[in-house]
Amino acid sequence: MYGFGSSYCPQCKSEIPENRLNSHPVICPHCGWSQKNTQIMKHQQLQMSTIKTFVVFSVLVSAIYLHTVKWGSYSLDIIPLKINEFIGRSTLENSKNIANICAERKQTTCVIKSYEKLVKVNPKDPEAYALLAITLEKAKRSQEAKTYYSQYFLLGGNNIDLAYNFARLLEKSNDFENAKKYYAFVINSNPDIFQISASKAYAKLLIQSGQYKEAKKFIKAIRKKGQNAPFFMDEEYKAIASHKSL
- Structure confidence at residue 210 (pLDDT): 85
CB 149 within 8 A of CB 162: yes
Question: Which residues are paired to 27 by β-bridges?
Answer: 34
More confident: 129 or 94: 129
CB 195 within 8 A of CB 187: yes
15: β partners: 8
So what's the pLDDT on residue 202? Answer: 92
Residue, of 90 and 189, whose pLDDT is higher: 189
**What pLDDT is stored for residue 154 in this prediction?**
96
Mean pLDDT of 69-86: 78
Tell me, what's the pLDDT at 41?
Answer: 57
Contact by Cβ (8 Å): 20, 34: no
Residue-wise pLDDT for 182-220, tens only, equals 999 999 998 777 888 898 899 899 888 888 888 888 888
Candidates 60, 108, 98; CA nearest to 77 is: 98
Tell me whether the CATH fold assigned to 77-157 matches the one assigned to 158-246: yes
CATH architecture of the domain with residue range 77-157: Alpha Horseshoe (1.25)
Q: What is the mean pLDDT of residues 214-232?
A: 77
Instruction: Indicate the pTM of the whole model.
Output: 0.66
Query: What band does 10 get if pLDDT is binned at 50, 70 and 90?
Result: confident
Residue 45: how many other CB atoms lie within 10 Å: 10
Domain residue spans of the chain:
77-157, 158-246
CATH level 3 topology of 158-246:
1.25.40
- Asked if the model's pLDDT at residue 178 lies above 80, the reply is yes
Residue 79 or residue 90, greater confidence: 79
Instruction: Give pLDDT, residue 103.
Output: 84
Handedness of CA 189, 195, 197, 198 (dihedral sign): positive
What burial class does residue 125 get, using C-beta atoms within 10 Å of its C-beta: 0-12 exposed, 13-18 middle, 19+ buried?
middle
Q: Is the pLDDT of residue 72 over 80?
A: no
Q: What percent of the chain has pLDDT over 90?
A: 30
Q: Is 164:183 a contact under the CB 8 Å cutoff? A: yes
Q: What is the mean pLDDT of the chain?
A: 82
Distances in Å between the Cα of 198 and the Cα atoms of 4, 145, 185 are 83, 19, 9
Contact assessment for residue 25 and residue 13, using Cβ atoms and an 8 Å cutoff? no
